[in-house]
A = this chain, B = another copy of it.
Amino acid sequence: MKPLTLTPIGTVRSPHTDPEATPIQPLFAQGCPGTLELLPHLEEGLKDIEGFSHLILIYHLHRSESGPLIVKPFMDPTPRGVFATRFPSRPNPIGLSIVRLAGRRGAILDLLDVDILDGTPVLDIKPFFPRFDIPEGAKGGWNDQVPDAEVEARGRRYTK
């Protein structure tokens, strides 16, 4: 299939510099601050973003390498297909996080609940629409079977 070339629109700055110690989901990065530094010529595209409490960031997992199609997710030792996990080694190194928007200073967005490595190139910013982005009756497969305590213990890797 025809390749697609993308140019990053900005960079995430965060306290997370070690992939092994980075929280695996925003839920485990509660209150962790970071910024998204948008390229200055794109600033106009942020108009009215301040009204949203959460943003969906799509970014380049720039420190992941592609790996096998069967992986062991962080939260569960059972091997799963990579597309049934959020594991960072994927055929296309695209990451997704739903972060809190705390404020905006020109082309800089102040974020909270940041589970993203420092220096991560951002590909797109989408507003989180509660009206559309919360499907009813969603079931989370194997992830629903992992006890809360286990998810908690494995998810907060940045505290270890």
Which residues of A come within 8 Å of B, CB atoms? 1-9, 11, 25-27, 38-39, 42, 44-54, 56, 58, 60, 69-70, 79-86, 90-94, 96, 98, 100, 121, 123-135, 137-144, 151
Q: How many copies does the complex hold?
A: 2
- How distant is the Cα of A142 from the Cα of B52 in the complex, in angstroms? 8
- How distant is the Cα of A113 from the Cα of B94 in the complex, in angstroms? 23
Q: A53-B138, A81-B47 are in contact. Are A58 and B58 (CB under 8 A)?
A: yes
Some 30 contacts from A to B, beta carbons below 8 A apart, are A1-B11, A1-B121, A2-B121, A4-B123, A5-B6, A6-B92, A7-B91, A9-B91, A38-B83, A42-B83, A44-B70, A49-B81, A51-B140, A52-B84, A52-B139, A53-B135, A53-B140, A56-B96, A84-B127, A86-B126, A86-B127, A94-B124, A100-B135, A127-B141, A128-B135, A128-B138, A130-B138, A130-B144, A133-B138, A134-B134
CB distance from A137 to the nearest CB of B (A): 7
